Structure 1
Amino acid sequence: MDSPPGSICCADNESAERKASALVECIMNEGKDVPLDEAPVLLPGWYNHSLVTRGQEYFTSNIFCIMAAKLSGLVGLLSVPSILKILMDTNKSSSPPKAYKRYMETINHMIEWYQSDLRNPNSKGRKSILNVRRLHSAANMKIGRITQKDLAITQFGFIGFALTCPEVLGLPQSGQEGLVHFWRVIGHLIGIKDRYNLFQGCKKCSTAACKMIVEKVYGPGTESPPEHYNEMTDSLLKGMWPVMPIINPVAYREMVRRMCGLSPKQLPWLPQTLLNVQLTIHKLASVQLLNLVLVPYLNFQMWLRCSSKEQLLSWHLSLSMISGRDRTGRLYTQT
């Protein structure tokens, strides 16, 4: 399936489906027995700096909606039992403040990747990737084996919904070729072998592969979630409230369910209202002319909140940890 970067490796939808099916089968059946690649990794021969730059520009132009895609992917990722177990065993996401700290660190890593020249091994982005690899190696030794399947499914969590549901998130489809190549490069540098890289093809077959991952993994997981799924997603979503104040855990889980193609559930009045507001904001972000004003405003607000992470963490700890309550007023236990 491997193709030169930027090329169209699929002549039609049928060939895209065929190539995507072979890749997903390889990830699901072979990848579960192959550990993460801990060997030193250099930039691959297929690296295309022009495409990487286009992917980085796509992020900069759509930071609010890309962050929503990432958060949705993380919520879905917690429905995967093997991933959920790893995150629970590390005990870094068991309360809103802990979840905020953990996932803001993840966001900061991602932002450094998007803002760095990945050709430079001394750039912040490349150093960040090395740090992530060290964390993976430590978790691999302490908790248990992290597989290529785990990494590929997590790779979807970062950006997959941007490809499968751009209209729901308010994302433009033009320019996503660069986004696909950027995440192919990141996957390679993180330790995903090229054979299991979810984004090894063109945009057409990469999107088809992502839809199959939803069908085989994220959809069933969110329809019948494992034990502790609600607990962990509550911590994640309440923890991210300072960054995205409109978040309601029940509403956001339902949004992710719908993005997985599941039938809508009727929610209580407040979550349903907040879900409708969330979906409307993303829909308006794709409306021509209106998006010329709305998208820059949303992007700026997201940038402002992410760049003020230290102040937000201090505020979050003061509000949540000292009082011993989450923002809905329910008591939670610090661990």
Structure 2
Amino acid sequence: MDDDQTKPECKDKVIDRYRKLVDEGSYEVGVSPEIDPSVPPPWYDKDKFKQAQSTAAKFFPSLSFASFSGLLIGIQIPLFLEPLLLTGTHETIPKLFRRYLDTVLKVHTWYGDDPFEEGSKSYKSLRQVRRMHNNVTKMMNERTGRVQGKDKIWVSQCQMAMTQAGFFGLLVLVPGKCFAHGISDKELEDIIYLWRVLGYLNGIKDKYNLCSGNLEETRVYLKHIFTSFVIPQIIQTPNHPYPIGFEVAKGIANSLRPIRPAIRWQTILYYWYEILNIPFPYKLSIGHRLLLAFSKFSFTVLLRFRFMYNLFNRALRRRVQRAEQFKEKIESALAAKYPDSKYSAGCPYKLTLDWVSSKPITPSDVIPDINDNDTRLNVKLQSS
């Protein structure tokens, strides 16, 4: 995330794209009715997409880690979390496990199947996701009286594109921090192309799709999004602008420990806050410091060896399969371990979305739009 020597014309193009995304895309419905997911876009190349899927399979642990990390960061922002809370899928730790195990399984099909082949798992799951997004869009905007084209709306093109960044952004920005050692620029371009296609299939218009540019432009665009939109909304000065978001991030980390046993919210957030130059508000215990040190050693040394990386890849896939096979037992165990963890939806009327702007955001822009008397923080998470 250090400063680079980006060409001025590239920066200017990115700033213009970002302005249109936030200032115009916030008024357009997230799943564009202009996109028919059964019809490939003119720029689609089937062979190129298959190659992109092969690259995703090759670097699956890194892409998975980037997606998981992007989720823990993005979920701390009200624009992304409030619609999810309203669906009821984020009420408890067991529900978080079910929700994100389902997401992992869906994305697996996107990385492996032909999404334009009717009847394929990818084809079916993408339509399920589109229906879900359309239902949430209708529910939230009807309840708040928001009208497309007139008001900034929930689950907009802006929100969908920002969510797209969460799946692959950190891998493209800092591949080494996602232990994607040896990944070439061509392979990173494959990942970008993969998510250009998946963004289209999820209803994102080409003019808002984050992956419409080359590698350099996409990197600059992602960095601009993180520095201008994401980081100001999660930095604690001294309190988090959106406390429920930070608590749900902790809950997600705890819910997915059956898949990634070494996960601790303290270490994973500390790891990324350090990279993003965000002060971490908690002191790590000795155990967490040791775990963080071992994680960094694994990421920077052990996983440089392809043999170790492939071993980790197979182990991760087996854990996902096992989690799917025993999900009911895992949910029961999580319910027993975290009986007091509850997350409820707020009142969407109280969120104006005024802070969603292409102008630089500060925590003070977000805080006034959050209910000062939020009663949702009745959560008691274990510290480990």
**Preserved CA contact (<8 Å) 2:85 2:343:** no
Q: How far is the alpha carbon of 1:319 from its aligned partner?
A: 1.5
**Preserved CA contact (<8 Å) 1:27 1:196:** yes
The answer to whether structure 1 residue 242 and structure 2 residue 258 are counterparts is yes
Match of 2:316 among 294, 297, 302: 302
The answer to whether structure 1 residue 267 and structure 2 residue 276 are counterparts is no
Q: Structure 1 stretches (4+) deviating beyond 4 angstroms?
A: 263-266
CA distance in 2, matches of 1:20, 1:146: 22
**Preserved CA contact (<8 Å) 1:55 1:176:** no
Q: How many pairs were matched up?
A: 317
Change (3 A) 1:128 1:28: same
The answer to whether structure 1 residue 46 and structure 2 residue 43 are counterparts is yes
CA distance in 2, matches of 1:30, 1:232: 29
What is aligned with 2:269?
A: 253
Amino acid at match of 2:134: S
The answer to whether structure 1 residue 64 and structure 2 residue 66 are counterparts is no
**Preserved CA contact (<8 Å) 1:181 1:199:** yes
Match of 2:232 among 220, 225, 235: 220
After superposition, where does 1:305-320 map in structure 2 within 5 Å?
A: 305-320=319-334
Amino acid at match of 1:214: F
What is aligned with 1:93?
A: 90
SS in 2 for 1:58: helix
Change (3 A) 1:251 1:150: same
Q: CA RMSD in A?
A: 2.1
Q: Which runs of 5+ in 2 are unaligned?
A: 1-5, 142-153, 345-384
SS in 2 for 1:196: coil
Match of 2:15 among 11, 14, 21: 21
CA distance in 2, matches of 1:30, 1:281: 43
The answer to whether structure 1 residue 167 and structure 2 residue 176 are counterparts is yes
Percent sequence identity is 22
Q: Which runs of 5+ in 1 are unaligned?
A: 1-11
**Preserved CA contact (<8 Å) 2:173 2:219:** yes
TM-score for both structures, normalised by structure 1: 0.88
Q: How far is the alpha carbon of 1:278 from its aligned partner?
A: 2.2
Q: Deviations over 1:192-226 (max 9, x none)?
A: 11111011011111111111111112211221341
What is aligned with 1:33?
A: 27
What is aligned with 2:364?
A: none
SS in 2 for 1:79: coil
CA distance in 1, matches of 2:292, 2:7: 33
Amino acid at match of 1:313: K
Amino acid at match of 1:18: D
CA distance in 2, matches of 1:82, 1:242: 28
Question: Which structure shows the higher helix fraction?
Answer: 1
Q: Which moved more, 1:144-153 or 1:304-313?
A: 304-313
Change (3 A) 1:221 1:284: farther
